[in-house]
């Protein structure tokens, strides 16, 4: 028997209450896989072992012989680990890269070995597997309950973890969303909407740490992101008013109770450069801090286009008492583009043009075009353990978005099929402020043979939007011989001068209860009462005419679900969930429009064997009360439109061999416009929603060259219509990326990636009109130093 004892540290500010983990709020966003805050302080040696089982550390252990990898892990984790050499003889361990708790790290090293780890109350032992229950990584996108995993949820959830992000070498959320089945990009990499996606045919919203929505007018930097959780379908019971496509939940990195720092530099094609750093650690036994930052400067093959970015994300966490914790987390993002691509003509790109195909570098925008979009966010979370099974939380967040821009866009081709008519869209000192308060209570109780896991609370949100904008006609440009002259803004060419002021107030109360019976039956019911008030004032600055549109609506939103565990590793489920989105406007009878409402029915099965996860999902999602033209008076609208999407998703991921990680996804979505004011559109598919999407990721760790891995990401997007009229199609594409990843030593790592390896022609919809031709083959190299 071999044993490694690396001693114990003093505690690092963890709480002292029995041995339970705080729930939805105390573990909220603390960096990943079941971190949570310790609420028990038994004798120091046991307390330390418990901390080690939960607290995450960063590891970079290459693939290799299992015994050697276990020894390295025990040394870096400073734990007592024992195992028989006969158990590990001839077995290989996969690479371990990223942040892991002790148990999660050991389980990863043991994938496919037939062995398991046993916590012996201060030490760890490796033994033969006895089909013990799998410990799953908690998520917080769904109801913010403690220790939730995707297996506990009667809706599809997909997690994009550290390994998937590393394979893509992504810096923004939109760059990894292409891995998600039935997700299609609404914007492009060449504008400010790179993170905007549709899921199952409808728009998706972004949340942070499971707390409300984060509305930023620019892509989200991944420097501060631990993982991404995607909840498919409506979630208004959880998040109040939202579109029915889904929720993209960002889990941020949290302060660690030990010192860790990391720096990374990156360089790529078109003089693109990026640097980032991450520093975290304890100030004393109760105070921990973290700072993530990034700077980026990026070029492109597109004429005039450039991007610069600065990002800072500080975080302070303090244990005020043994039962009370305060986290203050912020972010500042500064983003500047020159000459964003709002779309170029279809003719000559995806459809025929008698003049031939125009250059991929063509841009409608001249060099005087600019877009500045900045934001800062502060989130304060105060959490308190009332009892061993009841936790309370107060959360307040504030987000400000500010922007200035002068953006060119095309208004169409002239009769010669080469002259592009243009306008500029100008905004100066535009601003939006969002305030959100959440008060909630989570707990677990037993009533006879039933176990309840519940969350209840109140939610208040206030948004204030001030958006002055102007539009001018400007000089045209030759599609085949562009002369990028700056715009001349003449009063006679002004099309619009308008200011939009909008205020939104949402108040809600919610309750969700999950009931377990006989250990293998789980029933869920949730309800949210929403009252939404909206006021929009539109000012014509040329005539000083003001129009005011107000709406005050209330609704009761519900969700239901059932899960049956066929075995400890396999479950089946069915659910019904709803969405609620108020909309401006009135009917010809001067009645406010009813809110849009989406309803989804979903069934599925989930398999989880620790190292290998799989799921199969089927869904039908209908959206009602869409505003269409009022047949009594076309100056007004009625809420009678309807649309529907239905489809399936298949996913499989895990280590199929100790050295080989694979993740495969497939999605099929069929969409249809069912009722609208234009009968020619009835039966048509939604714009920019492909029927087929698929992705495959793989990573192979070379055992004979320790530290070396190769990986690839392949994503397929089927053809889809560019508009609801279904007259123009964007072609399908396959994007393949290939990377090499080499851990030189304990501190230094080098990565190299070729994106769009085969220089595939990839199209995205323009943000205003036309089409965007995405970047071709791009090379990127990065160097990461951990100390």
**Is residue 174's pLDDT more than 70?**
yes
Q: What share of the chain is helix, strand, coil (3-state, %, to 5)?
A: 10, 55, 35
The two counts, helices (H) then strands (E), for the chain are 6, 41
- What ranges make up the beta strands (E) of 283-368? 287-298, 306-319, 324-338
Residues with Cβ within 8 Å of residue 101, at least 6 apart in sequence: 33, 34, 35, 52, 53, 54, 55, 56
H or E element at residue 143: none
The average pLDDT across 89-96 equals 77
| Region label for 175, one of left (φ > 0), alpha (ψ between -120 and 50) or beta (otherwise) | alpha
CB atoms within 10 A of CB 608: 19
Handedness of CA 348, 353, 357, 362 (dihedral sign): negative
Tens-digit pLDDT profile for residues 699-736: 999 988 888 999 999 999 999 999 999 999 999 999 99
In the chain, pLDDT over 90 holds for what percent of residues?
A: 67
**Is residue 585's pLDDT more than 90?**
no
Q: What angle do CA 25, 60, 101 make, to 5 degrees?
A: 30
pLDDT, residue 38, reads 29
pLDDT, residue 283, reads 96
DSSP symbols for 354-365: TT-PPPTT--SS
pLDDT, residue 545, reads 95
* Banded model confidence at residue 128, pLDDT cuts 50, 70, 90: confident
Least confident of 135-149, 210-224, 398-412, 711-725: 135-149
Q: Which residue has the higher pLDDT, 304 or 115?
A: 304
In the chain, pLDDT over 70 holds for what percent of residues?
A: 89
Q: How far does Cα 466 stand from its chain's mean position? A: 27
Q: Which residue has the higher pLDDT, 666 or 747?
A: 666
pLDDT, residue 103, reads 85
Q: Which residue has the higher pLDDT, 255 or 640?
A: 255
Tens-digit pLDDT profile for residues 399-433: 999 999 999 999 999 999 999 999 999 999 999 99
| Residue 47: HSE in the Cβ half-sphere, 13 Å Cα cutoff | 18
The average pLDDT across 570-578 equals 96
Mean pLDDT score of the chain: 87
Tens-digit pLDDT profile for residues 617-633: 999 999 998 888 877 77
Q: What angle do CA 274, 279, 285 make, to 5 degrees?
A: 170
**Helix runs in 681-786, H state only:** none
* Banded model confidence at residue 284, pLDDT cuts 50, 70, 90: very high
**Is residue 12's pLDDT more than 80?**
no
pTM of the entire structure? 0.85
Write out the two tokens for 778: 């791009």
Residues with Cβ within 8 Å of residue 321, at least 6 apart in sequence: none
Handedness of CA 134, 135, 137, 140 (dihedral sign): positive
3-state secondary structure 21-68: ECCCCCCCCCCCCCCCCEECCCCHHHHHHHHHHHCCEEEEECCEEHHH
DSSP symbols for 249-281: EEEEP---SS-EEEEEEEEETTTEEEEEEEEEE
Domains and their CATH numbers in the chain? 2-128 (3.55.50.30), 260-786 (2.40.170.20)
**Is residue 511's pLDDT more than 80?**
yes
Tens-digit pLDDT profile for residues 444-472: 999 989 999 999 999 999 999 999 999 99
Write out the two tokens for 734: 């396959």
Nearest to 36 by CA among 229, 251, 208: 251
- Answer for the pair 230, 700: CB distance below 8 angstroms, yes or no: no
DSSP state of 13: S
**Distances from the Cα of 244 to the Cα of 93, 236, 685, angstroms:** 42, 8, 17
* Banded model confidence at residue 137, pLDDT cuts 50, 70, 90: low
pLDDT, residue 571, reads 95
The average pLDDT across 150-156 equals 87
**Is residue 753's pLDDT more than 50?**
yes
pLDDT, residue 147, reads 63
Nearest to 688 by CA among 192, 205, 246, 185: 185
Q: How far apart are CA 648 and CA 155, in angstroms?
A: 13
Highest mean pLDDT among 93-107, 299-313, 619-633: 299-313
């Amino acid at each position: 028997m071999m044993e490694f004892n690396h001693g114990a540290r003093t505690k690092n500010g963890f709480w002292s209450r029995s041995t339970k983990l705080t729930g939805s709020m105390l573990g909220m966003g603390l960096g990943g896989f079941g971190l949570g805050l310790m609420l028990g302080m038994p004798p120091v040696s046991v307390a330390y072992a418990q901390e080690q089982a939960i607290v995450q550390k960063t590891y970079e252990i290459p693939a290799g012989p299992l015994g050697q990898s276990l020894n390295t892990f025990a040394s870096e984790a400073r734990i007592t680990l024992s195992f028989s050499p006969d158990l590990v003889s001839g077995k290989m361990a996969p690479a371990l890269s990223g942040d892991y708790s002790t148990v999660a790290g050991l389980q990863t090293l043991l994938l496919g070995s037939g062995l398991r780890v046993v916590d012996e109350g201060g030490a760890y032992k490796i033994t033969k597997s006895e089909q013990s229950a799998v410990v799953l990584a908690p998520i917080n996108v769904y109801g913010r309950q403690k220790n939730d995993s995707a297996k506990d949820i009667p809706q599809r959830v997909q997690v994009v973890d550290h390994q998937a992000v590393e394979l893509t070498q992504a810096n923004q959320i939109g760059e990894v969303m292409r891995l998600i089945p039935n997700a299609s990009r609404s914007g492009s990499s060449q504008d400010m909407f790179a993170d905007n996606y549709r899921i199952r045919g409808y728009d998706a919203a972004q949340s942070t740490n499971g707390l409300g929505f984060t509305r930023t007018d620019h892509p989200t930097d991944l420097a501060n992101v631990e993982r991404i959780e995607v909840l498919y379908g409506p979630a208004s019971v959880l998040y109040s008013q939202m579109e029915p496509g889904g929720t993209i939940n960002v889990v941020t990195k949290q302060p660690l109770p030990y010192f860790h720092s990391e720096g990374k530099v990156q360089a790529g094609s078109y003089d693109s450069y990026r640097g980032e750093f991450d520093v975290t650690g304890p100030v004393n036994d109760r105070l921990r801090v973290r700072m993530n930052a990034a700077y980026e400067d990026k070029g492109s093959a597109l004429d005039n286009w450039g991007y610069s970015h600065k990002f800072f994300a500080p975080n302070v966490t303090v244990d005020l008492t043994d039962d009370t914790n305060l986290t203050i987390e912020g972010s500042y993002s500064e983003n500047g583009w020159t000459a964003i691509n709002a779309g170029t003509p279809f003719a000559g790109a995806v459809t025929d043009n008698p003049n031939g195909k125009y250059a991929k570098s063509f841009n409608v925008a001249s060099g005087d075009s600019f877009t500045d979009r900045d934001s800062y966010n502060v989130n304060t979370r105060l959490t308190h353990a009332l009892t061993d099974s009841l936790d309370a939380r107060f959360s307040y967040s504030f987000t400000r978005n500010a922007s200035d821009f002068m953006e060119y866009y095309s208004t169409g081709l002239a009769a010669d099929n080469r002259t592009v008519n243009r306008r500029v869209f100008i905004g100066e000192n535009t601003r939006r402020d969002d305030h959100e308060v959440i008060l909630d209570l989570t707990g677990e109780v037993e009533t006879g043979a039933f176990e309840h896991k519940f969350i209840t609370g109140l939610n208040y949100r206030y948004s204030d939007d001030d958006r002055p904008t102007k539009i001018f006609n400007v000089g045209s440009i030759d599609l085949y011989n562009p002369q990028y002259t700056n715009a001349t803004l003449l009063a006679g060419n002004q099309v619009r001068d308008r200011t939009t002021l909008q205020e939104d107030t949402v108040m809600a109360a919610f309750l969700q209860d999950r009931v377990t019976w006989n250990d293998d039956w789980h029933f869920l019911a949730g309800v949210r009462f929403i009252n939404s008030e909206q006021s929009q004032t539109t000012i014509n600055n040329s005539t000083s005419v003001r129009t005011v549109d107000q709406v005050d609506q209330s609704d009761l939103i519900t969700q239901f679900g059932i899960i049956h565990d066929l075995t400890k590793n396999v479950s089946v489920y069915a659910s019904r969930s709803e969405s609620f989105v108020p909309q401006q406007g009135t009917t010809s009878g001067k009645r406010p429009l009813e809110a849009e409402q989406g309803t989804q029915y979903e069934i599925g099965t989930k398999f989880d064997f620790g190292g290998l996860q799989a799921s199969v999902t089927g869904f039908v999602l209908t959206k009602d009360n869409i505003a269409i033209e009022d047949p009594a008076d076309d100056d007004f609208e009625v809420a009678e439109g309807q649309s529907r999407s239905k489809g399936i998703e298949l996913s499989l991921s895990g280590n199929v061999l100790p050295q080989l990680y694979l993740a495969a996804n497939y999605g099929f979505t069929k969409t249809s416009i069912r009722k609208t004011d234009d009968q020619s559109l009835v039966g048509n598919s939604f714009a920019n929603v492909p029927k087929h999407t698929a992705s495959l990721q793989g990573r192979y760790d070379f055992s004979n060259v320790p530290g070396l891995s190769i990986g690839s990401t392949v994503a397929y997007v089927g053809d889809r219509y560019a508009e609801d009229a279904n007259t123009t199609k964007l072609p399908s594409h396959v994007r393949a990326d290939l990377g090499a990843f080499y851990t030189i030593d304990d501190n230094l790592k080098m990565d190299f990636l070729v994106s769009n390896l085969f220089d595939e022609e990839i199209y995205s919809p323009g943000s205003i009109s036309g089409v965007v031709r995405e970047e071709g083959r791009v090379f990127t190299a990065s160097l990461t130093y951990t100390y």
